[in-house]
Structure 1
Amino acid sequence: MKRIGFIPLRKNSKGIPHKNKKKLLGRPLFTWVLTEAIFSNLDTIYVFTDDDEIISYLELNFKWSDKVKAIKRSDENASDTASTEAAMLEFASKIDWDFDYFCLLQATSPLTKREHINEALHCVTQQDYDSALSVVKTHRFIWDSNGKSLNYDIYKRPRRQDFEGLNIENGAVYTTTKEAFKNSSNRISGNIATIEMPEETLTEIDSLSDWKIIEQLIINTSKTSKNTGRLNYLVLDVDGVFTDGRVTFGVEGELSKTFDMRDGMGLEILRQHNVQVIVMTSENSKVVQKRMEKLKIKDVYLGVKDKYSLIEQLQAESKIHVNATAYVGDDVNDLSNMLRVAWSFCPKNATKEIKYHADVVLNHDSANGAIREVSEFIINYNQRFE
């Protein structure tokens, strides 16, 4: 039984230029649904795109998962007029229909979660359905352009709590068996099941206003779902956290960065209080590597562009738990992780957006005692759990 995910991406988009690569809370839009797909019950996830930059990004940043594969999409099926079904059929032909169950996922629905994918898969793999799609239940009253009510009696207007409502397709998840897809050439056919997703998932990103709505929904959901207990892990960015953000370059590349010795001592003391220190940076820096070796920090991840997915992987391997994690960042590529951990910190000289969302804005600048301040905060905070 082979269950595959399919994420179609086009290089060009009219509503929002380069939409799929645009950063949503510091992460390319398409990576939100891709990460959830990786940790779902899908066996393989194919990204089908005509964008070579996205293919390169996947090869560089998702090599930690053997589930993810990229396949080049033809120009013909990446045009404005091409249907999703045409792309699905082209893709199926390219892999010689090597699957039993097919799950179409849309990057424009970044609120999709692994449990939604798994529920749709369950319908076609364990129940008597040929396909399934995601819906949102609405209690809105629907009218046509001729002034006719479509879902209620205007003379017996029901109370909301008594109104069953309607299911509206939200465009997020579609699953089908291979046999049904071959027979119909359509994403859903035959005996069709519906899986209900939360009301907020009705918004798909087609415009900048949609983008702002989704962004705020993720921020609000992340902040309200935080659970705090003892902090067992501290995750640190490097540039702008350990360092002041500046770097000295020569003809052969990076020469030096400036670190604060007091930060190193703070982390040493923190580790003595049984807090694991983890370092993540998007740069592949030998200077950073040497500094972390000097500080005897073993969990160092260099060249990580998508830190959110890496933390998901560490959590899946039981090497970290976000509800017991503090995170220190200074710029937008740290934002998605700062929103979901138990405590988030930023140096005094962090970017304005990060300072707005951080739980604690430190009194010290980066490379000038900020990490030492975080270390002392965690040690004092953890005393209430001793």
Structure 2
Amino acid sequence: MKKIAILPLRKDSKGIIGKNKKKMVGRPLFSWVLSEAIFSELDQVYVFTDDIEIVTFIEKEYTWSTKVIPLLRSKENATDTASTESAMIEFADKVGYNFDVICLLQATSPYTTAKDINAVLESIEGGEDSALTVVKTHRFVWNANGEAQNYNVFNRPRRQDFEGLLIENGAVYATTKESFMTSQCRISGSIGIVKMAEESLIEIDSNSDWGVVESLLIERQKKQKQQQKIEYLVLDVDGVFTDGCVTYGKEGELSKKFDMRDGMGLEILRQNGIDVVVITSENSELVKQRMNKLQIKNAYYGVKDKFSFLNYFVKEQNTSFGALAYVGDDVNDLASMCSVSWSFAPANATDIIKLHSDFVLSKSSGGGAIREVCELIMKYNKRYE
């Protein structure tokens, strides 16, 4: 059974300008559901968009996954008035209906997890024609005529006795090819129901919604933290190895300053069985030379979506986020730092990083911050000896 997904993205957004690409916990909004889809039971994930910038980003960023395929969407099906179903029909025609199950994902539902996607797919594999995600709410619903819709006002139930309502949260839909070809609708026939957490009902239509969702995502990641012996130290480069400054000349990048004491600390870590991993959004020859000098084999360059790549790294190494420590200094490190066992921020990191890190170092980046982390990790790991 071939299971594919469509993630439709429009370039323009009226409520929040550039919403799909705006950084949510340091990552483009759409990348939250995209990375979960990659690690789900889906066979392929198509990002269907009229935004060339997103197409270019995906072609460069997700080379480590064969699942992700960007596909251009017509202008006619990317307007404010175009329906999602019309985009799905256009997409299905473009891929020649080469699927058994098609799953619709929404970028504005960043709470969606691989587990949620798999549950919807399992519902169809269990015999349903289609399935969708919902939220169970215990809110009392009224209509415009002042009439209660789901309870008796003269016999108001207690919350624990109230069955509540199931409401679509717009996160995940799936349907068989046969049902879609017949109905031209995202759900039809016998429909399965998959429940998601109540906070997934929040819609991102304004900047205030954005702030609420971002805070909830950060807390979700932090609650999932697990502590164990540290096996990997993950490092950013600019603002961690260096002070964040670079000198330029007419030839381009000329120099960066590194602290020799950091190198010795990393050597001591390796001698004690802790691997060093470097993930940087830059693609600097100077940095590559320094990492080669430090004999860091796990060095990855030009990575913009660090959290997705870190998920890939964890699975490839057959390890867990609980075995990782992370040092970062800016917002593109935030999602990773909220998820690993221990996160560290140099003394001169950005305020948001210091706010959400587990430990703010006394040393600044490029001035012994990494060496300080190495010593702290060595002390921490002693409890597992």
TM-score band w.r.t. shorter chain: over 0.9
TM-score (norm 2): 0.99
- Whether contact under 8 Å (1:25, 1:336) holds in the other structure is yes
- Whether contact under 8 Å (1:61, 1:305) holds in the other structure is yes
> Which amino acid in 2 is paired with 1:263?
D
Measured after TM superposition, the shift of residue 157 of structure 1 is 1.4
Q: Which range is displaced more, 148-157 or 168-177? A: 148-157
The 5 Å alignment of 1:41-80 reads 41-80=41-80
Cα distance per residue 1:78-132 (max 9 Å; x no partner): 001100001000111111111110000000000000011001001112x221100
The equivalent residue for 1:326 is: 325
Residue 94 (structure 1) aligned with residue 94 (structure 2):
yes
Cα distance per residue 1:188-216 (max 9 Å; x no partner): 01111110001111112122121111101
Measured after TM superposition, the shift of residue 148 of structure 1 is 1.0
Measured after TM superposition, the shift of residue 225 of structure 1 is 2.2
The equivalent residue for 1:38 is: 38
Distance 2:316 2:223 in 1: 25
The 5 Å alignment of 1:1-386 reads 1-125=1-125, 127-386=126-385
Measured after TM superposition, the shift of residue 224 of structure 1 is 2.2
TM-score (norm 1): 0.98
Distance 1:229 1:69 in 2: 36
Distance 1:253 1:228 in 2: 43
Distance 1:379 1:348 in 2: 20
Measured after TM superposition, the shift of residue 152 of structure 1 is 1.1
Distance 1:45 1:235 in 2: 28
Cα distance per residue 1:42-95 (max 9 Å; x no partner): 000000000000000000001110000011011110001100001000111111
5+ residue gaps, structure 2, are: none
Distance 1:370 1:316 in 2: 28
Distance 1:59 1:220 in 2: 31
- Whether contact under 8 Å (1:233, 1:320) holds in the other structure is no
Cα distance per residue 1:288-335 (max 9 Å; x no partner): 111111111111001111110111101122354211111000000000
2:134 counterpart SS class: strand
Distance 1:275 1:320 in 2: 13
Q: Which range is displaced more, 257-266 or 216-225? A: 216-225
Structure 1 moving runs of 4+ over 4 Å: none
1:245 counterpart SS class: coil
Distance 2:31 2:290 in 1: 31
1:5 counterpart SS class: strand
Percent identical = 60
- Whether contact under 8 Å (1:266, 1:376) holds in the other structure is yes
> Which amino acid in 2 is paired with 1:23?
K
Q: Which range is displaced more, 286-295 or 234-243? A: 286-295
Distance 1:346 1:18 in 2: 29
- Whether contact under 8 Å (1:33, 1:109) holds in the other structure is yes
Distance 1:347 1:56 in 2: 32
RMSD: 0.9
> Which amino acid in 1 is paired with 2:29?
L
Measured after TM superposition, the shift of residue 269 of structure 1 is 0.6
2:112 counterpart SS class: coil
> Which amino acid in 2 is paired with 1:95?
V
> Which amino acid in 1 is paired with 2:208?
S
1:104 counterpart SS class: strand
Distance 1:93 1:5 in 2: 14
5+ residue gaps, structure 1, are: none
Distance 1:302 1:367 in 2: 19
Distance 1:238 1:72 in 2: 34
> Which amino acid in 1 is paired with 2:256?
K
2:338 counterpart SS class: helix
Measured after TM superposition, the shift of residue 251 of structure 1 is 2.1
Q: Which range is displaced more, 51-60 or 311-320? A: 311-320
Distance 1:214 1:141 in 2: 23
Cα distance per residue 1:2-28 (max 9 Å; x no partner): 100110000000000000000001100
What is the aligned residue count? 385
1:337 counterpart SS class: helix
Measured after TM superposition, the shift of residue 373 of structure 1 is 0.2
> Which amino acid in 1 is paired with 2:172?
V
Q: Which range is displaced more, 363-372 or 207-216? A: 207-216
Distance 2:118 2:238 in 1: 38
- Whether contact under 8 Å (1:141, 1:151) holds in the other structure is yes
> Which amino acid in 2 is paired with 1:35?
S
